[in-house]
Amino acid sequence: MKVLGYSTYGKPSVFTEKNIETPVINANEVLLRTKYSSIHPVDTIIRNGDFSGGAPLQQFLIPGSEVLGEIVEVGSAITDFALGDVVIGKPGRGGYAEYVKVDQSKIFKKPANMPDEAAAGFSAVGTTAYYSLFDFGQIKTGETITILGASGGVGSIAIQIARNEGLYVIAVASEKNKDYVLHLGADEFADYNDPSQLAGLANRADVVIDASLFASSAEAGVALVKDGGHYITLTSSPAAPLDKSIHIIDMRRNAEMTDKKAMDYLIDLHEKQPIEVKPTTVYPLSLQGVVDAHTTLEAGTLSKKILLKNEMN
Ligand SMILES: NC(=O)c1ccc[n+]([C@@H]2O[C@H](COP(=O)([O-])OP(=O)(O)OC[C@H]3O[C@@H](n4cnc5c(N)ncnc54)[C@H](OP(=O)(O)O)[C@@H]3O)[C@@H](O)[C@H]2O)c1
């Protein structure tokens, strides 16, 4: 089967294509023929070697922690899924491939009526949004939440959860996405490029979620939280000492924060009020496709979720 990966850290050009044996599953796993592999911002950070501490890569690394695929083999201990089911799979890595094996605890039926492209990029951003709001932000009905990066994959779902839970939602994104975030249910909008608009949000939020991409504005984000409130960051923690008493949380999920718990909530919500997922753009599952996809993601100018499409489908 065809896979895309790299043996050294560096620019998108480090990717190579290989043909390797199709994985062999155990009793608790399924084999998926991928339809789409989702590309996450963190994939580019890992590829650059920024998490390696300077150590060289020891193996051929195939990224891809989230796919949408069709079950083509089912482990003998599995009763909840069958051949032909189209599922969301969270293999951890290995998803930039024509086939990937996934443990049954890491597969989820595609939400009803959700288009394939939307479903392919839904679970990682959705589960992240869920835990950032409930477990870390401890949101309560009637509170005010400010979401930085509100037009992004995580932020757009955070808006929809917050609305469902009865919060007043302030969305911070770029001006071009103002109508989009208001359409998703935000009550108010501010442009992160306009300091005066951000200044107008100071000390108003019980909870601030920083789901912005590669932003270095953590101190500016902290200014938006009320005394006693929560600042949850998915990006960088504020370094400066604080002159107010707030909870600053660098979000790290623990073992109890399972995908299943969050997906159960999200699928219920989707049945009540269809969840809109950030628009997607598709590149082929090919060497040129993955290089172009990573290059585009790093350029930071495309407000769309990027997917690799397996042309075998
Ligand atoms: N994807 C995941 O599953 C996941 C999981 C854990 C953590 N995270 C982290 O969460 C963050 C968001 O991920 P994502 O997938 O939602 O990214 P994304 O879809 O690319 O969204 C990025 C958001 O950041 C905004 N933004 C860009 N530059 C900004 C700036 N200088 N100041 C404020 N906002 C800015 C963008 O606004 P405009 O497009 O309107 O300009 C957009 O709303 C990333 O740091 C990521 O590493 C993601």
CATH of domain 2-121+278-309: 3.90.180.10
Ligand 1 pocket test target in 154, 181, 182 with most atoms within 8 Å of CB: 154
Q: Is the CB of 234 under 6 A from ligand 1?
A: yes
pTM, 2 dp = 0.92
**Amino acid (one-letter) located at 248:** I
Q: Which residues contact 66 (CB under 8 A, 6 or more apart)?
A: 37, 38, 40, 88, 89, 90, 95, 120, 121, 123, 124
CA dist 221 and 215 (Å) reads 10
Query: Which of 163, 134, 136 has its CA nearest to residue 150?
Result: 163
CA dist 178 and 186 (Å) reads 10
Q: Is the CB of 221 under 6 A from ligand 1?
A: no
CA dist 82 and 28 (Å) reads 13
Q: Is the CB of 138 under 6 A from ligand 1?
A: no
Q: Is the CB of 111 under 6 A from ligand 1?
A: no
Say what the pLDDT of residue 242 is: 65
Q: Where are the domains of the chain?
A: 2-121+278-309, 125-250
Q: Is the CB of 128 under 6 A from ligand 1?
A: yes
115, two tokens: 């288009």
- 79 alpha carbon to ligand 1 midpoint, in Å? 37
Q: Is the CB of 177 under 6 A from ligand 1?
A: yes
Q: Is the CB of 213 under 6 A from ligand 1?
A: yes
Q: Count the Cβ atoms, other than its own, within 10 Å of residue 59.
A: 7
- 211 alpha carbon to ligand 1 midpoint, in Å? 5
Nearest-CA residue for ligand 1 atom 7 is 234
Q: Is the CB of 155 under 6 A from ligand 1?
A: yes
125-250 has the same fold as 2-121+278-309 = no
Ligand 1 pocket test target in 213, 257, 296, 298 with most atoms within 8 Å of CB: 213
Say what the pLDDT of residue 216 is: 57
Ligand 1 pocket test target in 44, 130, 177, 212 with most atoms within 8 Å of CB: 212
| Each residue's pLDDT expressed in tens, for the chain with a length of 313 residues | 999 999 999 999 999 999 999 999 999 999 999 999 999 999 999 999 999 988 999 999 999 999 999 999 999 999 999 999 999 999 999 999 999 999 999 999 998 889 999 999 999 999 999 999 999 999 999 999 999 999 999 999 999 999 999 999 999 999 999 999 999 999 999 999 999 999 999 999 999 999 997 665 677 888 999 999 999 999 877 765 567 888 889 899 888 999 999 999 999 999 999 999 999 999 999 999 999 999 999 998 888 999 999 998 7
- 302 alpha carbon to ligand 1 midpoint, in Å? 11
**Amino acid (one-letter) located at 278:** K
DSSP annotation string for 232-249: EESS----S--SS--EEE
CA dist 76 and 88 (Å) reads 20
Pairing of strands 107-109, 144-148: unpaired
Q: Is the CB of 12 under 6 A from ligand 1?
A: no
- Phi-psi region at 10: left, alpha or beta (left = phi > 0; alpha = psi -120 to 50): left
Strand order in the sheet with 225-233: 188-191, 168-173, 144-148, 205-210, 225-233, 247-250
- 131 alpha carbon to ligand 1 midpoint, in Å? 16
Q: Is the CB of 39 under 6 A from ligand 1?
A: no
CA dist 130 and 36 (Å) reads 23
Query: CATH for 125-250, among 3.90.650.10, 2.40.50.180, 3.40.50.1820, 3.40.50.720?
Result: 3.40.50.720
Say what the pLDDT of residue 187 is: 98
Nearest-CA residue for ligand 1 atom 36 is 149
DSSP annotation string for 139-207: --TT-EEEEETTTSHHHHHHHHHHHHTT-EEEEEE-GGGHHHHHHTT-SEEEETT-HHHHHTTTT-EEE
